Structure 1
């Protein structure tokens, strides 16, 4: 049974070597992400959204952040030669694994357009596993003029709402998030959050934080059984 889950983002800026000029500005989200992941028991099952999903990645498996500017090697376990094609959520899971000294069972990527009902089914299938659940997904990419997408005034209320839902461990509220609105705002974490909401509770939130450096929303939360 899954007794604890962590919601974290998966941007390249988590890796200090990739943001040498902004390491201090990105330190808070980095520290919160590592701390949340470190509260999970092992082994981890990670769930994230990926354009190549559905797909499953299992160790032994290694990769590198070279495609994001610096050759920072990471591993899900084992000593395999680095695969330069690994998706970003898999690389970030491996990076977090190394910092938390934990075993990873696998990384599951789901499609970005996965319907809420299918997210629930996926979460229900995970529920019986004896693991820590790592849920990777970013919020809106449209927070203000520094954002990689065009500024959208709906981004603030959207991510405020997601933060409140995570802080309340509100599974019904997460499942009510509009996939189309999330897509328009660049919030690719929507499907992963809804997979978490599909894992039967009850749940309580131990901690929840929100960050938006460089105009992108990043949610960090830890859920546990009451």
Structure 2
């Protein structure tokens, strides 16, 4: 939660995550985890946030950060150039823009994973962590959508938004968590100037 609490110092906070289609949601948008069998709801009103942004809002609420300025869903099948352009646009909004990027690594890392065990998934996930740990926007921007789909990498598009946002700056990165519970790559990495 410490990494999320650090978002308070930003001029603008945007939660970025994958969705069925690209969309912008306001700060008070609601979401629910009920379709995934968990009785958790965030916000009031009709639940509209996709899973990634619902989890992002839940994390912000738990950390006591408050509402972001917006939630940005990027279509999971969006091309790299589109994702990079979205990131660049977000980075230009204010002097200190913080992105909470909600992005899974491979969901094919073990035989019990949602995507079963796929050859190459572990190597892909390790390369992804190396890119995040080095704040390597070039490597993140070059992620191949077809390979990501094959290896059940649900967060590729959101990570490429991050790459687009970080192209004009140099960041220090800190890996805070790097595990694969349930055979899904989960990585918590903080980037800061």
Determine whether 1:105 maps to 2:69: yes
- Deviation at residue 71 of structure 1 after TM alignment: 2.5
Q: Please say if 1:50 is aligned against 2:19.
A: yes
Question: 1:36 matched to which residue of 2?
Answer: 3
Shift of the 208–174 alpha-carbon distance from structure 1 to 2, 3 Å rule, reads farther
Which one of 161, 182, 198 corresponds to residue 164 of structure 2?
198
Assess if the C-alpha contact under 8 Å between 1:167 and 1:208 holds in 2.
no
Partners of 2:48 and 2:87 in 1: CA distance: 27
Deviations along 1:25-47, one digit per CA (max 9) or x if unpaired, are xxxxxxxxx33322223542011
What count of residue pairs does the alignment treat as equivalent? 186
**What TM-score comes out, normalization by structure 2 length?**
0.89
Q: Which moves more between the two structures, 55-64 or 170-179? A: 55-64
Relative distance call for 1:90 and 1:96 in structure 2 (3 A) is same
8 Å CA contact 1:54, 1:111 repeated in 2: yes
Q: Which residue, out of 81, 84, 99, partners 1:120?
A: 84
- What displacement does 1:128 show? 1.9
| 1:171 has 2:137 as partner | yes
Q: Distance in 2 between the 1:125 and 1:137 partners?
A: 19
User: RMSD between aligned alpha carbons?
Assistant: 1.7
Kindly state the Cα deviation for residue 65 of structure 1 after the two structures are TM-superposed.
2.2
Larger deviation: 176-185 or 198-207? 198-207
Match of 1:25 in 2: none
Other-structure match for 2:42: 74
Aligned to 1:153: 119
Q: Distance in 2 between matches of 1:148 and 1:58?
A: 31
Contact 1:66-1:84 within 8 A present in 2 as well: no
* Unmatched segments (≥5 aa) in structure 2: none
Alpha-carbon displacement from aligned partner over 1:135-155 (angstroms, at most 9, x marks no partner) = 111011111111111211211
- For residue 59 of structure 1, report the CA deviation from its aligned partner: 2.8
Local SS of the residue matching 1:196: helix
CA-CA distance at 1:126 after TM superposition: 0.8
